[in-house]
Amino acid sequence: MDSRRLLRTSATALAAAGLILSGCSGGSDAAASRTTQAGVASPAASPQALKKFYGQKPKWRDCGVAGFQCATLRAPLDYAKPDGEEIELAVSRVRATGPGKRLGSLLVNPGGPGGSAVGYLQGYAGVGYPAPVRARYDMVAVDPRGVARSEPVECLTGPQMDAFTQVDQTPDDTAEVNALSAAFKEFSAGCAKKSGTILPHVSTVETARDMDILREVLGDEKLHYVGASYGTFLGATYAELFPSRVGRLVLDGAMDPSLPAVDLNRDQTGGFETSFAAFAADCVRKPDCPLGTESVEAAGQALKKFFRDVDAEPVPTGESRPLGESLATTGVIAAMYDEGAWPQLREALTRAIGGEGSGLLALADSYYEREADGTYANLMFANAAVNCLDLPAAYAGPADVVKAVPSFEKASPIFGRGLAWAALNCTSWPTPATGAPHRITAEGAAPILVVGTTRDPATPYKWAQSLAEQLSSGTLLTYEGDGHTAYGRGSDCIDTAINTYLLEGTPPTEGKRCS
């Protein structure tokens, strides 16, 4: 898997799994001076109390990555207590290359939640975004609070995480239900023990406020931003909080902020089914398809049989971790994010069905951001921390999962049962949720471009339709195709429309579709 695809797969994989005059040093738009619909109280502090954060001057230094500079941004741990403890956030940029007049800074976020924006910038966006865009904007990223280089949430050791990823997520009896529940509780307890201070303060609302500090520190009156997957929720939240400071916002692979956690998870489950059907339709046309050449339906049955087989008897991988059903399922899901990974998945399934599981294990490891030495990035820890803070838990306990399984299996006969149980992860979370599902309208914001892909596995197309309808200034751009997100994935039509919006401020006509 090439580095760009690995970044896309790991950093944007977990969208659901899972809101005064521009440029003043205040930090409080009219919408941010009261309790937001997301349920997180806006800071009681006056703009004056936040002035030290808005007025800071970054000390840019060499990153050790050619062409990029790095700096540290200070922010309050708790916006309600700006004179209290502070946190440090990692920022990186690459300056506009020219020619043409500089338009300002373009902030990028790859999603997750938990994906490193700095890693995404340095590994892809800062060198791989269209040249005309990089010519006119300083490309900038900040790792969100709790993520990667910014006060990272930590929960489990590498060996503990290895064990966690192998726990059976399609329990067949009470003992297996208890084992899965215990695994989630151990995960949550580890987060509380290792990251108790930051854990209550990694909400999307707080991260959006951090972005506004960065906007001011960079000297921009308006925030220009490209967010993918969960990054669309972050961008929409910023627009809700600071509508008058919205510049050019691209929300690609959109989430729907109005949905509760169980609906988000169920919809995403259906998205994976749709994506698998597209993969299977491609696979069965090939004589070497490991799932047969009869039909999409027969391929689905063959995959379900394979999952049952490795649940009963995991296959070796050449490592101490055999390939059981949980890791096998994760490996398949990882390849659903990018149709460019389908050949790799066919090969991995061929080998695994033949009794050698290293290919699917490698795909699962890329999803979890596991390194060869057995260490993990904090993607999964931050993902749970943000999701469990942003929305109330999907279930009160295992009994609720049992009731929900039929609806998940209807959404996806292949992945439904496992993803229904996976949504149990926030039930035992140590920090109460501070957010709640709600519509985001961002009244008064400049035009916002929402992008949806018709067969997106992780952020179903109907979410983009819903967000574009909610936003008072939203415009929907549709990509008729496969994979997660659309920008920079090979469609000249999509790229031209987004580039025009970023460079000229003109969104495409409503209803524009590309393929």
Q: Is 52 helix (H, G, I), strand (E, B) or coil?
A: helix
229 is catalytic: yes
Strand bridging mode 137-142 / 86-94: antiparallel
Of the candidates 61, 56, 127, which has an alpha carbon nearest to the alpha carbon of residue 92? 61
- Per the CB < 8 A criterion, the answer to whether 167 and 179 are in contact is yes
Instruction: Look up residue 315 and give its DSSP letter.
Output: B
What single DSSP character describes residue 73? E
Query: Which tokens is 118 given?
Result: 């700095």
Cα separation, 158 vs 90, whole angstroms: 24
The answer to whether 317 and 356 have CB atoms below 8 angstroms apart is yes
| Active-site pick, 116, 484, 491, 495 | 484
- Catalytic residue among 10, 116, 195, 229, which? 229
From the candidates 138, 220, 252, 456, which is the catalytic residue?
456
CA nearest to 334, candidates 266, 408, 275: 275
Transcribe 199-258 into DSSP letters: GGG--HHHHHHHHHHHHHHTT-SSEEEEEETHHHHHHHHHHHH-GGGEEEEEEES---TT
Residue 484 is a catalytic residue: yes
Torsion of CA 59, 141, 112, 159, to 10 degrees: -40
Active site residues: 229, 456, 484
